């Protein structure tokens, strides 16, 4: 109510003042108190009086537009502050989320316990195969568990290779051109590790392929972990295992591009 009354009075001020000055001027001219040239001054005065504030307001907007430094300062300082404070709580909750660790010690214990009954012979090759078999049926909840498992499996594959060849993979590549090897001495020299493996025998070639495949899948899994792809959405429940996540990582990456 008070605001409305004030608005009405404010609206009446200028018309009343205009009329008062207009009548006073006309009376002044008739009474010969004012020279007619003052009519020009009065006209300018009335224009300023009626439209001056609007003109100043417009001039203010134009100046703001010409000096962009002042306006962005206001928007930049006022807008990004809530933008920073809003995502911060969600980012802070992520590191707190606990990643269940893979208990490799008890996993390896189970591998060691079951390898004898399953494969009749216990050696680095059958231990590697049993660890692979167990990985195929062990559920994976977080990709870091699969990475732990595949690092472990690469270690076992390397030991199995050394058991057959008497060399590490690097040493076997270096000695591929020589006849014989630490484990048999009768095999022929090869032009490269693949031809050497074929000449040394089936066991040599099989474990070479197994080690290579295991190393490749490990790298695929690292890539998948870095990509941040929702791998669970890409795999059927029976595929969500320690071994299969690494085994299918390349396919998940390929189909997600
Ligand atoms: Zn040999």
Whole-number pLDDT of residue 54: 64
Ligand 1 centroid–CA 202 distance in Å is 11
Residue with tokens 């909840």, as numbered in its chain: 141
The domain ranges of the chain are 2-96, 104-255
Count of helix runs (H) and strand runs (E) in the chain: 14, 0
Ligand 1 centroid–CA 160 distance in Å is 15
Ligand 1 centroid–CA 181 distance in Å is 4
Per-position pLDDT tens, the chain of length 257: 455 566 666 777 776 666 765 667 656 666 777 676 766 666 665 555 666 666 655 555 455 544 444 334 444 444 444 444 444 444 444 455 566 678 999 999 999 999 999 999 999 999 999 999 999 999 999 999 999 999 999 999 999 999 999 999 999 999 999 999 999 889 999 999 999 999 999 999 999 999 999 999 999 999 999 999 999 999 999 999 999 999 999 999 999 97
Ligand 1 centroid–CA 220 distance in Å is 32
The Cα 38–Cα 137 span in angstroms is 104
Ligand 1 centroid–CA 190 distance in Å is 11
Whole-number pLDDT of residue 22: 62
Ligand 1 centroid–CA 79 distance in Å is 72
Whole-number pLDDT of residue 102: 86
φ, ψ for residue 121 (rounded to 5)? -115, 140
Ligand 1 centroid–CA 123 distance in Å is 19
| Beta-carbon contacts of residue 177 (< 8 Å; ≥ 6 apart) | 189, 190, 191, 196
Ligand 1 centroid–CA 246 distance in Å is 32
Whole-number pLDDT of residue 112: 96
Q: Which CA distances in Å does 75 have to 64, 72, 81, 87?
A: 13, 5, 10, 19
Q: Which CA distances in Å does 186 have to 182, 200, 232?
A: 10, 8, 49
Q: Which CA distances in Å does 142 have to 58, 132, 149, 172, 241?
A: 62, 18, 11, 36, 10
Whole-number pLDDT of residue 71: 39
Ligand 1 centroid–CA 162 distance in Å is 12
SS (H, E, C) 167-182: CCHHHHHHCCCCCCCC
Give the closest residue to 163 by CA, choosing from 107, 214, 210, 108.
Answer: 210
């Amino acid at each position: 109510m008070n605001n409305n009354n004030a608005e009405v009075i404010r609206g009446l001020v200028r018309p009343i003042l205009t009329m008062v000055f207009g009548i006073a001027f006309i009376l002044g001219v008739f009474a010969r108190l004012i020279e007619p040239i003052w009519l020009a001054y009065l006209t300018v005065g009335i224009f300023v009086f009626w439209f001056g504030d609007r003109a100043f307001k417009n001039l203010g907007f134009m100046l703001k537009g010409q000096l962009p430094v002042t306006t962005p300062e206001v928007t930049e300082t006022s807008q990004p502050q809530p933008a920073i404070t809003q995502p911060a709580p969600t980012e802070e909750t992520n590191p707190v989320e606990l990643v269940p660790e893979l208990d490799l010690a008890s996993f390896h214990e189970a591998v060691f316990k079951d390898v004898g009954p399953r494969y009749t012979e216990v050696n680095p090759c059958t231990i590697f195969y049993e660890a692979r078999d167990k990985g195929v049926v062990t559920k994976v909840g977080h990709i870091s568990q699969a990475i732990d498992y595949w690092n472990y499996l690469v270690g076992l594959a390397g030991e199995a290779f050394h058991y057959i060849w008497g060399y590490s993979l690097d040493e076997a590549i270096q000695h591929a051109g020589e006849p014989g090897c630490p484990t048999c001495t009768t095999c022929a020299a090869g032009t490269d590790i693949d031809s050497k493996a074929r000449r040394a025998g089936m066991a040599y070639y099989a474990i070479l392929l197994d080690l290579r495949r295991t190393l490749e899948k490990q790298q695929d899994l690292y890539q998948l972990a870095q990509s941040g792809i929702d791998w669970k959405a890409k795999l059927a429940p029976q595929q969500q295992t320690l071994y299969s996540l690494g085994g299918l990582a390349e396919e998940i990456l390929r189909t997600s591009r």
